[in-house]
Structure 1
């Protein structure tokens, strides 16, 4: 008996189609599930982790009881309240995680904390890894030196040892200027801001390059503030902002909306006065720093977009 080849061809074609479909099902099932957003992670964990600094006076530092306090910490407390309201979780415990300048970005990238509340500058390079909310301060990099050193400008640092904090925009800018001007500065990396100040106090470095406001805080809390001066023209403009995970629009929206509310209600300005124009813990120092023109103008047109 003779059989037609057509049914066999149809069968082979059907089997091929089924095999391709099965392969597609297997390949799609192997794809990772969509990554949960920060709000979902916080809700699932039932708590939130805040990264903070320990020597960034008055933004984020430790009081006499080793509790993190400061201007940025107060702002972050308001942001946590907004996150609680968004998630409808009245009792949302907060865990605090101390980070260094070098560790702060990896901490957010690796999801070890939801927010970094310190003295971090919003830069284009950093925005490749993380996002930032609306700026809450604008600083500039300058130099802290002993008054007796007679150092008044960057060019006076030629051949000298200058300390700056690891992982900061200050040490990057110092290295750039050193190379461009052939100053032959010996750059000494410090693990934190206090270590940088201590190097100048001990005479192992002739200057400390760092954001002016942080230098002011370190000088004000030292035993002999009058021995030190903050000198030189601003090397950079540093818009400080709270750092958060990259490309998480839902989380960023909650954070930015609360920052806008704080600015428009005047609460942020009141917190600024508390930390920059009044005595602060632990030693009752007063930085006596009125809000700068640049910061006042930036708060008139609040944005998380910066040009650097």
Structure 2
């Protein structure tokens, strides 16, 4: 019996040590050792992450950043679909190495995970039926769709307290609810809304009014105190800005000839 307890204790200790090693920031070494970087990405949110109809592969702005990081590491890239609600649990449970999924950096999340420097900057707006919304007052007491576990969910509740917030698994479902007349608006970051609208067959019926309720800096998410990996990713992002790769990726997905034309109003720099 004593031997059995000793065995249990040894197994438990190995588990604790493994968890501690993970928490202490061994991702950089582990990724190099296994030869694969596993990134959690969106798979239905153009142009950040979506399934290409021809290749059936997940492509997008977020994926291109991960490809560059993986190449810099000298490893292969594996992408796993995540939702706004599942991305942090997936990271903390060790199922993915990095989150690249339109994730806003905020103090609440930063208590649980670490973020890279800002690699995309946008602001929260709305998609509405054309001419239906001129000011935030037009949305008071109305139903507004967004995604579960997103900062958009919290921001709109603060901005329009009388609105009823309907939270969906992701933004395309929220947009479908708008098309069906179940909500008066869909809210999230302008860049995501532009991507949704750009792919909509009936996009002429909708618009993004010039009503911004927050600024949204996106960061790549990594495990807490994963210092070596965070430093490597940040160094790589600064390199991408310096050598023009970051701008090139932006133009590829948000340039004037794309379905989601936006101006690049930011540069990647060392931030908190």
Normalising TM by the smaller chain, what interval?
0.7 to 0.9
Structure 2 residue 118 is the aligned partner of structure 1 residue 135: yes
Conserved in 2, the CA contact under 8 Å of 1:56 and 1:118? no
Determine whether 1:59 maps to 2:48: yes
Secondary structure of the 1:49 match is strand
Q: Does 1:173 align with 2:155?
A: yes
Residue 122 of structure 1: SS of its match in structure 2?
coil
* Number of aligned residues: 256
Cα distance in 2, alignment partners of residues 41 and 260 from structure 1: 23
1:290 to 245, 263, 268: 263
Q: CA deviation at 1:270?
A: 1.1
Alignment of 1:42 with 2:31, yes or no, is: yes
CA distance in 1, matches of 2:244, 2:33: 33
How far apart, in 2, do the equivalents of 1:175 and 1:210 lie?
12
1:56-95 per-position Cα deviation (integer Å, ceiling 9, x unaligned): 22112211133111111101111111222xxxxxxx3332
C-alpha RMSD over aligned residues: 2.1
Tell me the equivalent position of 1:72. 62
- Whose Rg is larger? 1
Unmatched runs of 5 consecutive residues or more in structure 2: 1-8
Asked if 1:151 corresponds to 2:133, the answer is yes
CA distance in structure 2 between the partners assigned to 1:130 and 1:304 by the alignment: 16
Aligned counterpart for 1:113 among listed residues 89, 96, 99: 96
CA drift at 1:278 = 5.2
Hey, what's the Cα distance between the residues in 2 that align with 1:82 and 1:246? Answer: 22
Q: Which runs of 5+ in 1 are unaligned?
A: 1-25, 85-91, 280-284
1:109 is displaced (CA, Å) by 1.3
Give the TM-score normalised by the residue count of structure 2. Answer: 0.88
Q: Check whether the contact 1:82–1:255 (CA below 8 A) recurs between aligned residues.
A: no
Shift of 1:186: 1.6
Classify the secondary structure of the residue corresponding to 2:152: helix
Q: Displacement, 1:151?
A: 1.2
Greater Cα shift, 63-72 or 264-273: 63-72
